Amino acid sequence: MLDLSIFMHAVSHSNDGISITDVNQPDHPLIFVNKAFEKITGYSSEEAINRNCRFLQGNQKKQRNIEVIREAIKNGKSCVVTLRNYRKDGSLFWNELSIYPEYDTQGKLTYYIGILKDVTDRVERDQILLNERKSFHETKARLENLIIHDSLTGIYNRLHFETQLNESWQCLTNNQGTLSLMMVDIDYFKLYNDTYGHIAGDNALKQVASALTSSMIRDTDFTARYGGEEFIVLTTDMTMQQAINMGQTLCANVRNLNISHKGSPVKFLTVSCGIANVTQNSSSNPSLLLQHADQALYMAKANGRNQAKIYN
């Protein structure tokens, strides 16, 4: 058997802090710490011995991993946790603590051996990587949002509408139902910009976009800015009359904004709406559906604006 002094020499020169806790004494005090423990914590052995090692936690005694330690000690098990600990000078260090139970020959739990590792550098590196990863995902999400949303109004843009139209058309092809497309254009908008300025024009676009979006009553309803002062609405499973009613509602909701427009015959901002409605059995296609909605919009404009017309 090796001489005990050799073991003590090894413990003394370990780079890891080593402590021994007596579980048979009240409050489980430390009864031994090595030189590395003193170096890591800043506490001398005289200052540490006869104290429960929780003194290293400072005022951070509600850490999640503390409960892991308590449960392990309660059940006489080992565990490895990482804790926020504080040196004698008050500085924070991250302590990877491993604890191991020791039993006597009768199988009674007598001591816990603790191995302390200062892993502050590792934790800080991990935190930097975590922050960088979080920043990357946030940036990615913002970019993805910009790709599909109009930067001024915040609603979907034309590119995303075209994707949505193709997907909706595929669903129409595979299932029974209808698809309705509504093109909405602000009446006399160039004159509005010339009269009130482009800042007011941008604000009007935002308000109209909000009014159209608020008019959507189902998860399947979709609205986007098609370009300039033109918006587009896509919805499914509507009869021709329901589509007309919805187009009229869109026009009414914009009128109800009561945005002054002295260049308009009615003296406030209005929109015109062109509607195209197709069923599964139609010989139409997405491009033709857009063309029909545009033709219906032209009819609404030619008929005096501030109204909805359906292609038939």
Q: What is the pLDDT of residue 171?
A: 84
Does 281 score more than 90 pLDDT? no
Q: How far is CA 249 from the centre of its chain?
A: 34
Q: Give the CA distances from residue 114 to residues 16, 17, 18, 53, 275, in Å, rounded to whole numbers and listed in that order.
A: 10, 8, 6, 10, 75
* CATH annotation of 4-123: 3.30.450.20
Question: Which pTM was predicted?
Answer: 0.61
Residue 243's pLDDT band, with cuts at 50, 70 and 90, is: very high
Q: Which amino acid is at 265?
A: P
Mean predicted confidence (pLDDT) in 180-197:
96
Task: Find, among 176, 181, 225, the residue nearest to 204 by Cα.
Answer: 225
Does 268 score more than 70 pLDDT? yes
Q: CA 86, CA 105: separation in Å to the nearest integer? A: 36
Residue 6's pLDDT band, with cuts at 50, 70 and 90, is: low
CB 82 within 8 Å of CB 97: yes
The CATH label, of 3.30.2020.10, 3.10.20.30, 3.30.70.270, 1.20.120.530, for the domain at 150-310 is 3.30.70.270
Mean predicted confidence (pLDDT) in 188-203:
95
What single DSSP character describes residue 156?
A: B
Q: CA 292, CA 311: separation in Å to the nearest integer? A: 6
Residue 295's pLDDT band, with cuts at 50, 70 and 90, is: very high
Mean predicted confidence (pLDDT) in 78-84:
94
Does 9 score more than 70 pLDDT? no
Q: CA 102, CA 51: separation in Å to the nearest integer? A: 19
Mean predicted confidence (pLDDT) in 227-248:
93
Task: Find, among 121, 5, 95, the residue nearest to 41 by Cα.
Answer: 95
The total number of residues written for the chain in this structure: 312
Q: What is the pLDDT of residue 5?
A: 66
Residue 169's pLDDT band, with cuts at 50, 70 and 90, is: confident
Q: What percent of the chain has pLDDT over 90?
A: 72
Does 62 score more than 90 pLDDT? no
Interval 109-163: pLDDT, tens? 999 999 999 999 999 999 999 999 999 888 888 888 888 999 999 999 999 999 9
Domain-by-domain residue ranges, the chain?
4-123, 150-310
Mean predicted confidence (pLDDT) in 160-167:
91
Q: What is the pLDDT of residue 168?
A: 87
Looking at the annotation, which residues are catalytic?
Answer: 229
Instruction: Give residues with Cβ within 8 angstroms of 222, minimum separation 6.
Output: 156, 161, 164, 168, 216, 233, 234, 235
Task: Please provide the average confidence, as pLDDT, over all residues in the chain.
Answer: 91
Q: Sheet harboring 230-236: ordered strands across?
A: 222-227, 230-236, 178-186, 271-279, 308-310
Mean predicted confidence (pLDDT) in 206-235:
92
Task: Find, among 294, 168, 295, the residue nearest to 232 by Cα.
Answer: 294
76 dihedral zone (left: phi>0; alpha: psi -120 to 50; beta):
left
Q: What is the largest CA-CA distance in the chain?
A: 107
Lowest mean pLDDT among 3-7, 94-98, 102-106: 3-7
CB 32 within 8 Å of CB 22: no
Mean predicted confidence (pLDDT) in 283-299:
90
Tokens 């423990």 belong to 37
Task: Find, among 311, 85, 302, 303, the residue nearest to 180 by Cα.
Answer: 311
